[in-house]
């Protein structure tokens, strides 16, 4: 079995107990310092990256403002041209186009101007020099900058979306003869060309994200030498729409990103601009610093370990010497004192060991004297114990009780040989099987046995209980089980000792005595009641018959007299049955064969049963033991039971008659389909009554039950499905067993 980790640490050498903590502290301190240094350096570099990328953002904002100033200046110059004012006032589109075409070409070449657009009140497109074929469309709803310039008659500039996309636009009003003739718009592309210009100038990747109809932020323009994500995370876009967001790209750690909102002339969010700063050099510097710190830390740890190891060796060497000398003292290999040491802790330990050596030598001398005396006493005591044990074992083996001892886990530690004599199980079966006692003796399920057993061991209370135990052959025996727990010095239960007494015969005699007394009492009550009823009934019957004879045949009262005579006769018949049921009788016991008795009975009843169209399916168990019984009385009981079955059974049915052997009892079962019986009929099934449909005289079932009870047996009737009746009779092989 492997020792636990804590025990392994405790068993380490003192040298390693000194070296390992120092090594751990050196490693922890070096690692912590390296971590703090790298974290501080990384925080400083990250702050520097953030300042750098925000500087480019400020340059971007300034560049947009410069472009606004440029297009505003160009638009103002065009608006001050007298020829332009005159042609716009005359609404001469062709002449105005010819005039502005060369100017547009020059501005496009020199300043990358994408659009020159003239509008007239109240906000209608008059001429697009870059697309002359498109004019006349209403701009009021989509061009707020144009509407504001026409209404306020003041120049306007900013980012706004037109028919050809977003642009940095400037709109300047044009006056002719001090009247507003219209406006001119000059715009610079705010898309990929603008981003590529900044990319070439700064060497930084720039990406525009705009929202589509589905609410997704997709790339609308890009100036980058690498692939960007096609779609922004919704949560990230939501944060960036409120304020700039700086972060390191989760997909590419070599890129630092700044995501800023871009708003148009109206203040609405039109796009998110992403700045991508290459941080490859930053990561290289961080990796170099980390490697340098790791190398320096490892060197420091190695030096600390070496110095600590030397110090530990210096401290441990005298301790190892003291341990070796103490071990010699413990093994009684050393007789002389330990050499004196310096007056430190080790020196005081050496002095203590010398004192212990003197004490051990004195104790050894005393023990030698005690050992000689003790050896003689042990021999005498052992002889007494062996004699007592032999007496106790002889007593336990010969007593007519099952004596046992059981441990807490269910193991049978001891059981005497009476277990084999009474139940047929060997001692090896009981001792070798942990579940033997719960399965064979207690006869309960695992959960119930465990609960009872744990309660005994937890509370420590003994118990005295009556148990029904089946032997190896299935015979049921009744025992009184008396168990007493044995406690240890701490009060806990160590095991349970118990004895089991066989009271099977006592229980049988007791039950038979109670049953006989009950039957005798019922017989006396029934006889008294029958005699009390018979005398007045005889008088009433005689009077009714004389009254019937005295009345003429046509007298209406004669019919009533006949009914009285008939009912009195029924009661007299019932009393005859009752008298026959309670008449006293004696048993003349002998050895009889139950199977042969049933066969002879069926031969006598073959003709009456055939008249009722009843068949008998006989299933007799071979090899049944002969029982002690009165053949005449038992045959009388079986005969009456068979007659009742033939009366209750419906025609064209089969009577199922079977015998079997279980333990020390013979079981007889009779099953057949009967006329429907109520619950009250079932409860009074064995009460005295008259069968009106019987073809022969029937002594009632109550007498049959008395006969079976007198034989030590019992009889029950059960109603099954489909109106089937099952009558079960149990008879002991020997009366009293």
Residue 216 lies in a domain: yes
Among 278, 298, 316, give the residue marking a domain's end.
Answer: 278
Residues 670 and 632 in one domain: yes
Among 11-20, 211-220, 621-630, whose mean pLDDT is lowest? 11-20
Tens-digit pLDDT profile for residues 490-524: 777 778 888 888 877 777 777 766 766 666 665 66
Task: Give the position of tokens 């876009």.
Answer: 237
In-domain check, residue 33: no
Average pLDDT over residues 240-248: 81
Same domain? For 660 and 727 the reply is yes
By percentage, how much of the chain surpasses pLDDT 90? 2
- The C-alpha atoms of residue 373 and residue 380 are separated, in whole angstroms, by 11
- Same-domain pairing of 689 and 596: yes
Read off the CATH number of the domain in which 656 is found.
3.30.565.10
Domain containing residue 436: CATH number: 3.30.450.20
What lies within 8 Å, CB to CB, of 573 at 6+ separation is: 690
Residue 214's Cβ-side half-sphere holds a number of Cα atoms within 13 Å equal to 5
Count CB neighbours of 701 within 10 A.
23
- How many whole angstroms separate alpha carbon 535 and alpha carbon 541? 10
How far apart are alpha carbons 397 and 404 in whole angstroms? 11
190-203: pLDDT as tens digits:
877 777 777 788 87
CA distance 219 to 179: 45
Q: Identify the bridge partners of residue 486 per DSSP, sorted by sequence position.
A: 495
Q: 605 and 533, same structural domain?
A: no
Neighbouring C-beta atoms of residue 593, cutoff 10 Å: 14
User: CA torsion angle for 294, 295, 300, 301 (degrees, to 10)?
Assistant: 60
Q: 668 and 600, same structural domain?
A: yes
Residue 36 CB neighbours (<10 A): 10
| Residue range 404-435, pLDDT digits in tens | 887 877 778 778 877 777 777 887 777 767 77
**Boundary-marking domain end, from 432, 467, 496:** 496
Helix (H, G, I), strand (E, B) or coil at 493: strand
**Listed residue (84, 79, 80) closest to 100, CA to CA:** 84
Q: What is the DSSP letter of 440?
A: I
Check residues 288 and 629 and name the one with the higher pLDDT. Answer: 629
Same structural domain, 469 and 572:
no
- Among 208-212, 437-441, 695-699, the minimum mean pLDDT is found in 695-699
pLDDT at 694: 44
Tell me the CATH number at 264.
3.30.450.40
What are phi and psi for residue 697, nearest 5 degrees?
A: -65, 140
Residue 287 lies inside a defined structural domain of this protein: no
Query: Is 596 found in the same domain as 711?
Result: yes
Number of domains in the chain: 5
- What is the predicted pLDDT for the residue at 6? 63
* Better-predicted residue by pLDDT, 414 or 89: 89
Using an 8 Å Cβ cutoff, are 45 and 284 in contact? no
| Residue 464 and residue 516 in one domain | no
Q: What is the pLDDT of residue 216?
A: 79
Instruction: Please give the helix or strand (H or E) that residue 115 lies within, else none.
Output: strand 113-120
Residue 11 lies in a domain: no
- Which residues is 656 bridged to in the sheet? 617, 671
- Lowest mean pLDDT of 434-438, 464-468, 496-500, name the range: 434-438
Contacts of 623 (CB under 8 A, 6+ apart): 661
Q: What integer pLDDT is reported at residue 737 of this predicted model?
A: 40
Parallel, antiparallel, or unpaired for β 665-673 and 654-662?
antiparallel
697/570 same-domain check: no
Q: Where do the DSSP E strands lie in 571-695?
A: 590-592, 615-619, 627-629, 654-662, 665-673
Q: What are the percentages of helix, strand and coil residues in the chain, rounded to 5?
A: 55, 25, 25
Question: How many angstroms separate the most distant Cα atoms in the chain?
Answer: 163
Whether residues 417 and 516 share a domain: the answer is no
Last residue of a domain, one of 496, 531, 565: 496
Closest CA to 130 of 166, 163, 176: 163
Angstrom distance (rounded) from CA 599 to CA 659: 12
Is residue 350 a part of any domain in this protein?
Answer: yes
Which stretch of 336-340, 482-486, 597-601, 646-650 has the lowest confidence by average pLDDT?
A: 336-340
Is residue 362 assigned to a domain?
Answer: yes
Strand partners, 427: none
| C-beta of residue 644 within 8 angstroms of C-beta of residue 698 | yes
- The number of helices, as runs of H, and strands, as runs of E, in the chain is 20, 22
Same domain for 432 and 449, yes or no, is: yes
pLDDT bin (cut points 50, 70, 90) of residue 448 is low
Question: Domain residues for 449?
Answer: 401-496
Q: Is residue 365 part of a domain?
A: yes
Structure tokens at 315: 């401290």
* pLDDT band per the 50, 70, 90 thresholds, residue 172: very high
Q: How large a percentage of the chain has pLDDT more than 70? A: 76
As a whole number, mean pLDDT of residues 358-379 equals 77
Judge whether 313 lies within some domain. no
Give the whole-angstrom CA distance, residue 298 versus residue 455. Answer: 63
Predicted TM-score (pTM) of this structure:
0.40
In this predicted structure, the answer to whether residue 183 has a pLDDT above a threshold of 90 is: yes
Residues 595 and 576 in one domain: no
């Amino acid at each position: 079995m492997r020792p636990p980790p804590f025990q392994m640490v405790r068993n380490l050498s003192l040298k390693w107990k000194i070296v390992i903590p120092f090594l751990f502290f050196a490693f922890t301190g070096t690692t912590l310092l390296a971590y703090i240094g790298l974290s501080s350096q990384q925080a400083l570099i990250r702050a520097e990256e953030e300042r750098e990328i925000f500087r480019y953002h400020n340059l971007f904002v300034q560049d947009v403002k410069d472009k606004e100033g440029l297009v505003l200046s160009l638009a103002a110059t065009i608006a001050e041209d007298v020829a332009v004012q005159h042609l716009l006032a005359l609404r001469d589109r062709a002449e105005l186009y010819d005039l502005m075409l060369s100017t547009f070409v020059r501005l496009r070449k020199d300043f990358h101007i994408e659009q020159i657009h003239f509008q007239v009140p109240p906000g209608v497109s008059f001429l697009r020099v870059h697309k002359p074929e498109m004019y006349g469309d209403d701009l009021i709803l989509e061009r707020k900058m144009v509407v504001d310039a026409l209404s306020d008659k003041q120049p306007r500039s900013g980012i706004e979306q037109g028919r050809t996309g977003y642009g940095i636009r400037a709109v300047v009003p044009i006056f002719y003869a001090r009247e507003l003739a219209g406006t001119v718009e000059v715009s610079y592309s705010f898309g990929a060309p603008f981003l590529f210009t900044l990319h070439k100038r700064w060497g930084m990747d720039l990406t525009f994200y705009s929202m589509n109809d589905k609410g997704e932020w997709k790339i609308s323009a890009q100036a980058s030498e690498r692939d960007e994500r096609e779609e922004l995370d919704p949560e990230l876009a939501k944060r960036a729409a409120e304020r700039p967001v700086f972060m390191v790209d989760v997909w590419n750690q070599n890129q630092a990103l700044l995501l800023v909102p871009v708003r148009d002339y109206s203040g609405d969010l039109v796009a998110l601009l992403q700045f991508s700063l290459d941080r490859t050099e930053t990561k290289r510097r961080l990796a170099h610093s980390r490697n340098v710190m790791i190398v320096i830390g490892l060197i420091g740890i190695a030096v600390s370990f070496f110095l600590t190891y030397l110090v530990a060796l210096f401290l441990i060497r005298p301790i190892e010497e003291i341990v070796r000398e103490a071990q010699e003292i413990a093994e009684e290999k050393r007789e002389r004192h330990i050499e004196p040491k310096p007056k430190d802790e080790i020196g005081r330990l050496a002095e203590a060991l010398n004192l212990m050596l003197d004490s051990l030598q004195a104790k050894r001398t005393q023990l030698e004297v005690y050992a000689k005396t003790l050896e003689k006493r042990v021999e005498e005591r052992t002889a007494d114990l062996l004699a007592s044990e032999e007496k106790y074992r002889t007593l336990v083996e010969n007593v007519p009780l099952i004596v046992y001892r059981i441990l807490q886990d269910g193991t049978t530690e001891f059981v005497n040989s009476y277990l084999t004599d009474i139940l047929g199980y060997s001692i090896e079966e009981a001792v070798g099987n942990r579940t033997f006692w719960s399965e064979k003796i207690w006869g309960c399920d695992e959960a119930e046995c465990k609960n009872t057993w744990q309660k005994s061991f937890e509370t420590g209370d003994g118990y005295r209980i009556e148990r029904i135990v089946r032997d190896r052959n299935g015979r049921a025996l009744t025992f009184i089980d008396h168990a007493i727990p044995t406690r240890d010095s701490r009060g806990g239960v160590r095991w349970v000792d118990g004895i089991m007494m066989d009271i099977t015969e006592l229980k049988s005699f007791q039950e038979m005595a109670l049953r006989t007394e009950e039957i005798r009492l019922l017989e006396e009550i029934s006889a008294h009641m029958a005699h009390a009823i018979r005398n007045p009934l005889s008088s009433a019957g005689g009077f009714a018959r004389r009254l019937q004879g005295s009345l003429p045949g046509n007298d209406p009262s004669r019919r009533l007299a006949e009914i009285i005579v008939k009912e009195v006769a029924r009661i007299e018949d019932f009393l005859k049955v009752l008298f026959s049921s309670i008449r006293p009788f004696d048993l003349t016991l002998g050895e009889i064969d139950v199977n042969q008795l049933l066969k002879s009975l069926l031969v006598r009843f073959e003709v009456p049963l055939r008249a009722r169209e009843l068949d008998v399916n006989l299933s007799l168990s071979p090899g049944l033991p002969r029982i002690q019984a009165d053949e005449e009385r038992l045959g009388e009981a079986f005969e009456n039971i068979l007659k009742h079955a033939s009366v209750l059974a419906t025609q064209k049915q089969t009577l199922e008659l079977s015998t079997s052997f279980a333990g020390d009892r013979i079981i007889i079962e009779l099953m057949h389909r009967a006329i429907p019986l109520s619950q009250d009929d079932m409860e009074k099934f064995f009460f005295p009554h008259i069968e009106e449909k019987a073809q022969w005289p029937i002594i009632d079932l109550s007498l049959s039950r008395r006969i079976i009870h007198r034989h030590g047996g019992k009889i029950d009737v059960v109603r099954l499905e489909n109106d089937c009746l099952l009558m079960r009779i149990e008879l002991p092989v020997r009366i009293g067993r």
